[in-house]
Chains A and B, each alone.
Chain A
Amino acid sequence: MQDVTIHITDRDGEKHTVLAPTDMAMNLMEIIRSYELAPEGTIGICGGMAMCASCQCYVTSKHRINTMEDEEEAMLSEAFNVKNNSRLSCQIPISDILNELEIELAPEC
């Protein structure tokens, strides 16, 4: 599969359905940035290194995605507005298993 469909609710509550390529080593944060679903400077501040939590999102569909590494878990333990379904979108690589994934961006912090 070349592209997967992802449903993203932005910080204003607006829903967007976007196509994400699976063959460009992108992560979910980069997809959100490339579709400009959050203003510049409010997402991806650490460049995707699990060091800022600006890319936090809530996974609202029942997909079984990659499990969290220690770094992601540690960052989320320091972040604000964290829920049980919180993930750092920069730590979610785009792959076939994400097709029809639904996420919501966490508030800006």
Chain B
Amino acid sequence: MIKTDILIIGAGPTGLFTVFEAGLLKLKCHLIDALPQPGGQCSELYPKKPIYDIPGFPEILAGDLTSNLLEQGKQFQPGFTLGERAETIEKLEDGSFIVTTNKGTQHHAPIIAIAGGLGSFEPRKPQLENIDMYEDNGLAYFIKDPEVYRDKKVVISGGGDSALDWSIYLADVASEVTLIHRRNEFRGALDSVERVQELKLINKINIITPAEITALHGETKIEGVSVTKDGETKTIEADAFIPLFGLSPKLGPIGDWGLEIEKNAIKVDTVDYQTNIPGIYAIGDVNTYEGKLKLILCGFHEATLMCQSAYKRLNPGKKYVLKYTTVSGINGFDGSRKESPKAVVKAIV
């Protein structure tokens, strides 16, 4: 079981900054995220777009902001459980919590900070009959281990970067790759589009456009798919079907944790962003209160106040005096120490 002081659900900008603010108070953090990489919306939706309203940065790419936040928090050695969704929560008699992910990983902490943004990013599923039945039986929305597709007949659908990139990758692994898209045009990096074109010319990838998958076949697992093009439908043999239509965020299991929810978000007290369950906080885009703004800088502010409150909860007798990092410096958990240089004081005689 993973043990920590503050368990953060969501590794978006708010969750990542919490690591730093908690670290200043000597509190250790562990983050869970459903996505395989940290950064939340910044890395999933717009890593290459500039943000203009981060104080002190006239312009910064969302991906660079994520890297900077990771660098800033690194000295406080956060732990990560990535690619897993926080699913259930259990309150123990001593008031602490156990959070279990969809993969069964358990985390124990006295403080939970939900920084889940718009929710966990879930794959957008095409509306095909019995699609759920085939999930993990030849149908996958993410490719975790490409070797699974070695010497198999694979059908990929979608027209974006993921569909192009995986078609290219699997062309050397699978026995047959068929890429199906509703348009003749693909939207992706130019070199990927060109590479797919080259692979098509040497028959390493079959492309069917403009076409759509209209049915899935197989008793218990994918054995074929129906493809409709120009009103005509034909069935092609397949061992695997990979629909790649992007991700859509859903509040998901957190919505069933007994927290007060309003407008798809968690209600909090603005004193410290605590929810209706003591010890569980909600910060960043996932919370709601009068006047709430879903902005990165608001998430940073909420994380800071939340950490102060968590410290008091964990150390009821101790008084904490707010210190400026410029004055007190930073003691990293890794033994590092950062301090502003002192001016030499000369005696005046």
Contact = CB atoms under 8 A, between A and B. Distances in A.
Interface of A: 39-42, 45-47, 49, 51-52, 54, 70-71, 73-75, 77-78, 80-81, 109
A73 B249 CA distance: 22
Given A41-B251, A109-B124, A109-B248, A78 B158 contact: yes
A78 B263 contact: no
A78 B247 CA distance: 12
Nearest to A51: B45
B245 interface: yes
B265 A40 contact: yes
A40 B185 contact: no
25 contacts: A39-B263, A40-B263, A40-B264, A40-B265, A41-B118, A41-B251, A41-B263, A41-B264, A42-B264, A45-B118, A45-B248, A45-B249, A51-B45, A52-B45, A52-B246, A52-B248, A71-B187, A73-B183, A74-B183, A77-B182, A77-B185, A78-B159, A78-B160, A78-B245, A109-B248
A40 B264 CA distance: 6
A46 to B, nearest CB: 6
A77 B264 contact: no
Given A40-B263, A45-B249, A49-B46, A80 B185 contact: no
A72 B251 CA distance: 26
Contact of A41 (B119, B126, B159): B119
B68 to A, nearest CB: 21
Q: For chain B, what secondary structure do more than half of its interface residues adopt (helix, strand, loop), or is it mixed?
A: loop
A80 B126 contact: yes
B107 interface: no
Contacts of A75: 187
Given A51-B45, A109-B248, A80 B264 contact: no
A80 B124 contact: yes
B4 to A, nearest CB: 28
B85 interface: no
B326 interface: no
B30 interface: no
Contacts, number: 57
Interface residues of B, number: 25
A49 B48 CA distance: 13
Interface of B: 45-46, 49, 118-119, 124, 126-127, 158-160, 181-183, 185, 187, 245-246, 248-251, 263-265
Contact of A74 (B119, B185, B250): B185
Listed from nearest, the 8 A-B pairs whose CB atoms lie closest are: A74-B187, A77-B183, A41-B264, A40-B263, A40-B264, A77-B182, A78-B159, A41-B118
A77 B159 contact: yes
A80 B125 CA distance: 9
A77 B181 CA distance: 8
Nearest to A81: B127
B181 A80 contact: no
Contacts of B124: 80, 109
Contacts of A71: 187
A37 B249 CA distance: 19
A41 B245 CA distance: 18
Contacts of B182: 77-78
A54 B246 contact: no
Nearest to B46: A49
Nearest to A80: B127
B119 A78 contact: no
Nearest to A107: B127
Contacts of A70: 187
A78 B126 CA distance: 10
Nearest to B184: A77
Contacts of A77: 159, 181-183, 185
Contacts of B245: 78, 80
Contacts of B158: 78
A78 B185 CA distance: 11
Contacts of A51: 45-46
Nearest to B188: A74
Contacts of A73: 183
B187 A41 contact: no
Nearest to B117: A41
B42 to A, nearest CB: 11
